[in-house]
Amino acid sequence: MSIKIFPAAPNLNTAEHFATIEQVTATKGLVELGSECCFCVPNCDWVLPAFADLTDTDDRKNDKRDFLVRVASNSTVVGTLIKIAPDDTETNTIITDSTYGQFFDTGVLDDNVWGFVLDWRLVASGLGFGKYKFNITVNNQTPTETFNEDSVCFQLMPFTCVSAHRTVRIETLQSGYFEDGFDYTNFAFGIPGFPDTRRPFPWPQQIRLWGRFHRSEFELEVDNIVSQDRGEEQVQSRTVKVYTLQLDTIETKLSNPLIRDMLQAPDVRISDYNINNIEEYTSTRVTMTEINSPVTFTMNKNEFIDIQFTEFFKANVHRYR
């Protein structure tokens, strides 16, 4: 069922009106990042695939990963990209600029917010392919360490259709706020030192997971009117694509923020890389409509999740007159 609202006044911003009827300040919490690393074949519990193509700048072949944290006033944030060698030795690269992605020092986006969008193509070009994780450490003004957390681990590989098989990539532009969650409301970006250049900045999120995204069914919507002789006459019809995102062995440290934050963004796009899929899906814009009960296992931390979406642009309308 859908509800259509027609504002009485043409200048009434209906979305903002209903969103602010009851509004409370969002909790300034830390974004959950991940846990320990292990590296197994073919699909370890704690490793995410990441791809880069050094010969092609095509966005579809080059992944990114975002990291974002809100801290207390006067805190210092240190982001460190860690490369893990085959003998488990680690090489640290402290992030202080945009050499390996888009860097937002504390206060650039919003008060007490630090962010970094890691560009795996820049990483592969400068540091090489291999195994990586990302660490965020927060110190207060004393200084006393208040937060030290590693991300999940990533296996950065050269992009090929075969290596990307069985993966999906989710991209969102996040804005607004979550009650008892993260507040993206005041995010803005501009030229440093020129406040007049600041513009609203929806936070870009991206993650690649093991799974499959496909069109699972169609929904038919028909509008009828009752004629004078009490017959039902169709005036228009529409078919809507329904999609299913099947996530394979995802741990809850990823599925929780994915469902409770990322997939509720106003702009969600999904790309599928499965070779034998029924159709090609590249940055398909969708809206989440249903989350099926996850299938869990007693012996590990993984779960299988099916999530339902509908197409964002429902343009397939047939009007009979």
pTM of the model: 0.82
DSSP state of 17: H
Closest by CA to 153, choosing from 24, 44, 64, 52, is 44
Percentage of the chain exceeding pLDDT 90: 56
pLDDT tens for 235-291 read: 788 888 999 999 987 888 888 899 999 999 999 999 999 999 989 999 999 999 999
AA identity, residue 101:
G
Number of H helices, E strands in the chain: 3, 19
Tell me the residue ranges of DSSP E strands in 193-301: 199-200, 203-226, 232-251, 267-272, 284-291, 295-296
AA identity, residue 16:
E
AA identity, residue 242:
V
3-state secondary structure at position 18: helix
pLDDT tens for 193-239 read: 777 888 999 999 999 999 999 999 888 888 777 777 777 777 788 88
Q: What is the pLDDT of residue 30?
A: 39
C-alpha atoms less than 13 angstroms from C-alpha of 259 in its C-beta half-sphere: 19
Q: Is 92 exposed, middle or buried (0-12, 13-18, 19+ CB in 10 A)?
A: exposed
